[in-house]
Amino acid sequence: MKKLFFFLILDAVILMSCGGHNEIANSDPTGFCIPDSLMLNITLDTVKTESVMGDLKLSGKISFNEDNVVKVFPQVSGHVGDVKVSLGDFVQKGQLLATIRSSDMANYFNEYQSARSELDVAKKNMDVAADMRNSGVSSEKDYLTAQSEYRKALAEFNKVKEVLKIYGGGTEMNDSTGSGYKIKAPISGFIVEKNVNTGMELRADDANNLFTISDLKEVWATANVYETDIAKIKQGSNAEITTLTYPDKKFSGKVERISNILNPETNVMAVKIRLSNPDYTLKPGMFTNISILFPETEKRLVIPSRSVLFDDNKNYVVLFKKQCDVGMQPIDVYKSVSDKTYLADSTLHEGDLVISRNGLFIFTALKKL
């Protein structure tokens, strides 16, 4: 329907430009007038003078944002009983990831049980001492001594309970021995690393993490830059990324980090580009083509790339002065970078207006005059 609408407009434009009796066309019989209905659907852009932007091409890879991940390490030694998740799974905060049979946890639980029993005894002794004091059988001193013992037992119980909590145990364990240790997700996100399997033996001093969890709402595109191109990249430089999976879709980001160390073997330096990834389209491990923009010293006239029309091996723009004063203007393109086209020697001037949206309809009508 939208295409039909524009073709009807185009026919009207052609009729008006060819000497029809339309009132607007008669206002300038030797020129061309854009109908009011089409005027509402065009966009004008101003020709500007800007520094030419260079375009550094790199190959890279998508990785998770290391500033927004949590690595899960074993806090106790033991035998892995069951792993509940797989690489790439999405998990909620507090979700069970794996269970471990641990003698360490059994010891912590035994200490908890012992402290609780001692607390119960101290509480009963204090209550008995209070009753005897109230009956005149024992002195106030005996009651205060029992009260002090109760407070000591309570402090010890709270300490052991907190230790048990830190190591992932609860006051109600999943078996009578208290050896069950549950590894739970500390945040919601995706399992982007998994280094544990059922049956493994774990040590609390192992330097390897069991899981890495990232929410993947932001990712990095990482690439290596050769020494000759280092000066072209600055922190905050704009970058455009495409992937092998989505070759026609561009992702925009900015250079987040630039390494200060060159790889001594390859003489390359690592850069990382932050990318927003709200719909999880970008996956860690994807290969990417990266284009990083940088300003050159040269300045040229620049127009939006969408305003450039190619016809009969030539480039044109539709130059706009007023509604009844438009024309086709040939241009010589110096180069196009991203959404901007830089001009070589041209008859355009800074401040000229070109039509950058729906210019093709007007261009087609102008060709038929």
Amino acid identity of 138?
S
Beta strands in 75-204 (DSSP E): 78-83, 90-91, 96-101, 180-184, 189-194, 201-202
What pLDDT score does 173 carry?
A: 45
Residues 365 and 10: beta-carbon distance below 8 Å: yes
Residues 302 and 68: beta-carbon distance below 8 Å: no
What pLDDT score does 179 carry?
A: 60
Q: Measured between alpha carbons, how far is 208 from 213 in angstroms, rounded to an integer?
A: 14
271's tokens: 């850069």
C-alpha to C-alpha distances, 324 to 6, 34, 338, nearest whole angstrom: 19, 6, 32
Residues 6+ positions from 118 with CB-CB distance below 8 Å: 153, 156, 157
Residues in the chain: 369
What pLDDT score does 240 carry?
A: 92
Q: Measured between alpha carbons, how far is 301 from 332 in angstroms, rounded to an integer?
A: 11
Amino acid identity of 208?
N
Render each residue's pLDDT in the chain as its tens digit; 369 residues.
Answer: 444 444 444 454 444 444 443 333 334 443 678 888 888 889 999 999 998 988 899 999 999 888 888 999 887 788 888 899 999 899 999 899 988 887 777 777 888 888 899 999 999 999 998 888 888 888 888 889 989 999 999 999 998 888 777 766 654 444 445 567 788 898 898 998 999 998 888 887 777 889 999 888 899 999 999 988 988 899 999 999 999 889 889 999 999 999 988 888 888 999 999 999 988 899 889 999 999 988 888 899 999 999 999 998 999 999 999 988 999 999 999 988 888 999 997 789 999 999 998 888 888 888 887
What pLDDT score does 31 carry?
A: 65
Q: Measured between alpha carbons, how far is 270 from 261 in angstroms, rounded to an integer?
A: 8
Q: Measured between alpha carbons, how far is 294 from 338 in angstroms, rounded to an integer?
A: 12
Residues 157 and 116: beta-carbon distance below 8 Å: yes
For 140-158, letters b (16+ CB in 10 Å) and e give eebbeebeebbeebeebbe
Whether this prediction's pTM lies above 0.85 is answered by no
What pLDDT score does 169 carry?
A: 60
179's tokens: 């050896």
Domains of the chain: 2-52+299-367 (2.40.420.20), 56-66+214-297 (2.40.30.170), 103-178 (1.10.287)
Residues 315 and 309: beta-carbon distance below 8 Å: yes
CA angle 249, 253, 256 (to 5 degrees): 150
Task: Report CA torsion sign: 189, 248, 225, 50.
Answer: negative
SS3 123: helix
Beta pairing, strands 96-101 & 180-184 = antiparallel
Residues 268 and 228: beta-carbon distance below 8 Å: no
Residues 186 and 88: beta-carbon distance below 8 Å: no
152's tokens: 């000591």
Q: Measured between alpha carbons, how far is 143 from 62 in angstroms, rounded to an integer?
A: 69
Nearest to 13 by CA among 368, 365, 369, 367: 365
Kindly write down the DSSP assignment for every residue of 60-91, as one continuous string.
EEEEE-GGGEEEE--SS-EEEEEE---TT-EE
Q: Measured between alpha carbons, how far is 93 from 85 in angstroms, rounded to an integer?
A: 13
